[in-house]
Amino acid sequence: MTTPTQGTSTPAQQQRRIRKDPTADWPTIKILKPPGGEYGLAGDQHCFMYCSQSVFGRASSRPPFCRSICFRKVFPHELSDSAKYPLPPSGQVEHLPRAVGGRRGVPVPDPSEVDSSSSPAPPVETRNWEEGWYLWTSTTIHGLAHQLNTMPQTLKQQQDRQQRLEKMQDIWTEWENYLRSNPGGPAPGPNGEPHIFWGPRPPMRPFPLEPDASMILPFPPSTLPFASQISKFIEPSKRVLAITQNSIASGEQLEFAKRVWAKAWTDAPYTMVSRTFDKAKEIWKKKPTQDDDDEKNAEK
């Protein structure tokens, strides 16, 4: 009885090695489904920009001429059930143009000047992020930079960043107002305590906030303010079409067409055209006479 030596294989092992799927060595195609939800890899925010500059603009240090547009989709998992994320100021009603339902440029009445007997104006509703697509546009390079800075951030992070920028803007405004009233610089308080702006370094200059130069809208918009105006404009056409449809359904149009066709074979069309030409000829003959009389009266 012989035993297998090292480096050799038994018939059973050789049989197992030979028995394999004949398609095992064939090239295959694997279809992988990309992850969705919070871990989705598909692009859902796309931005396009165009900027130009001139020799005069560079010589005078003017900002470039820029136009940018972005499309962004908000998914359900980005929204919170316990909190609502407001849109940036460029998406609120007071900073949107009137053509899209905004109130940009509408003066806000002073509460002290409002008559107490009149009913108060309804409060402006704050617009929040909702599920769906949004359109963003801007006409400044600062708006484009702000948009690029928010692209890596969630809605909550964008809200926190906006609040920090607004707080920095308030401090900077207070600093400028203080310098106007104290040209010599920060002075100590009445009891010798240091002022809030006491120190060698002024507050950090904030990132420019230009809400009126940008715009955020749901895409496509659900309603447009000028839809009612368009409806009023085409209302007469709707009535004319409705009357025409009713007359066709009742047979009045067919009866009218038959009468016109029958009338066309009589001398009525010729008589009407002849009278029209005769009347025009009479008016044409009388007109030079009236002009001559006016010239004679002017000479006298």
**Cis, peptide link before residue 220, omega less than 30° from 0:** yes
Per-position DSSP letters for 8-57, written without gaps between them: ---HHHHHHHH---TTTTS------PPP-GGG--S--EEEEEEEE--HHH
Is the per-residue pLDDT at 199 higher than 90? no
- For the stretch 131-157, pLDDT in tens is 999 999 999 888 889 999 999 999 999
How many other β-carbons are positioned within 10 Å of the β-carbon of residue 165?
Answer: 16
* Confidence tier at 158 by pLDDT (50, 70, 90): very high
Q: Average pLDDT in the 221-243 region?
A: 70
* Confidence tier at 52 by pLDDT (50, 70, 90): very high
DSSP 124: P
| Alpha-carbon gap, residue 235 to 232, rounded angstroms | 5
Percent of residues, the chain, with pLDDT higher than 70: 73
- The whole model's pTM is what? 0.58
Place of tokens 């001398």: 267
Q: Average pLDDT in the 107-122 region?
A: 60
| Alpha-carbon gap, residue 265 to 212, rounded angstroms | 69
Question: Are 116 and 55 contacting, i.e. CB atoms less than 8 angstroms apart?
Answer: no
**Among 73, 68, 67, 65, residue whose Cα is nearest residue 47:** 68
pLDDT of amino acid 174: 84
Q: What angle do CA 83, 84, 86 make, to 5 degrees?
A: 145
Q: Is 185 left (phi over 0), alpha (psi -120 to 50) or beta?
A: left
* Maximum pairwise Cα distance, the chain: 155
Sign for the pseudo-dihedral over CA of 137, 143, 144, 146: negative
| Alpha-carbon gap, residue 76 to 44, rounded angstroms | 13
| Residues belonging to the chain | 300
Q: Average pLDDT in the 177-185 region?
A: 73
Q: Average pLDDT in the 222-229 region?
A: 58
Is the per-residue pLDDT at 230 higher than 90? no
- Which residues, including other chains, have CB under 8 Å from residue 69's CB and lie 6 or more apart? 47, 48, 49, 135, 136, 137, 138
Is the per-residue pLDDT at 37 higher than 80? no
CA distances, 173 to each of 90, 143, 178, 202, 204 (Å): 20, 20, 9, 12, 11
Quick one: tokens of 258? 């038959």
pLDDT of amino acid 56: 95
| Alpha-carbon gap, residue 41 to 229, rounded angstroms | 43
* Confidence tier at 3 by pLDDT (50, 70, 90): low
